[in-house]
Structure 1
Amino acid sequence: MSEPVRLHILITTLPGRGREQVDAFERLAPLVRAEEGCLQYDLHRVSGDPDRFVLVEQWSSRAALAAHEVTAHMIEADAASPAFRAGPAEVIELAPDPVA
């Protein structure tokens, strides 16, 4: 059985454009959460900064994550995000086991 994949994705929007990130997430989240293998898909604003976010994702397997990345809704979202994001998101994959 394959290990779950946990991601923290750091997102910074252009100054004053954080609301556009929230709106995009609110449209996208129900579609992503309905995908096979999606265990978690949550956006958190960084405290004190309305233009910085952390997207927390967990997928049941690498195959589920790979399938997610090529869905029509993700391709569309990725194409639209440069309009309000300050740059590419930073994807951090967490190790499978927590540090004691």
Structure 2
Amino acid sequence: MSQPIRLHILITTLPGRGQEQVDAFERLAPLVRAEDGCLQYDLHRVVGDPDRFVLVERWASRAALAAHDVTAHMVAADAANRAFRAGPAQVVELGAEPVA
């Protein structure tokens, strides 16, 4: 049985464009949360910086995550995000268990 995949995705928008990230997430989140294997998909703003975010994702398996990455809505979102993001998102995969 595969372990769930846990991701923290660090996102920075262009200065003053953070609300565009929020708006895009609000449109995308219901589609992603309805995907097979999606366990969590939540966006958090970094305290004190309206243009930085952490997206927390959990997927039931690596296969579910791979399928997510190629959905039509994700391909379209990735293309649209370039208009307001400062650069590529940084994806951090977390280990299955806490270290302490």
> What is aligned with 2:16?
16
Say whether residues 1:36 and 2:14 are aligned partners. Answer: no
Distance 2:90 2:55 in 1: 10
Deviations 1:38-96 (A, max 9, x none): 00000000000000000000000000000000000000000000100000000000011
Secondary structure at 2:74 match in 1: helix
Question: Share of identical aligned residues, percent?
Answer: 83
2:81 aligned partner, one-letter code: S
Q: How many residues align?
A: 100
2:78 aligned partner, one-letter code: D
1:1-100 matches, within 5 Å, as 1-100=1-100
| Unaligned runs of at least 5 residues, structure 2 | none
Secondary structure at 1:77 match in 2: helix
Secondary structure at 1:26 match in 2: helix
Compute the RMSD of aligned alpha carbons: 0.3
Secondary structure at 1:78 match in 2: helix
Distance 1:82 1:72 in 2: 16
| Unaligned runs of at least 5 residues, structure 1 | none
Distance 1:69 1:31 in 2: 13
The TM-score, its normalising length taken from structure 2, stands at 0.99
Distance 1:95 1:44 in 2: 20
The TM-score, its normalising length taken from structure 1, stands at 0.99
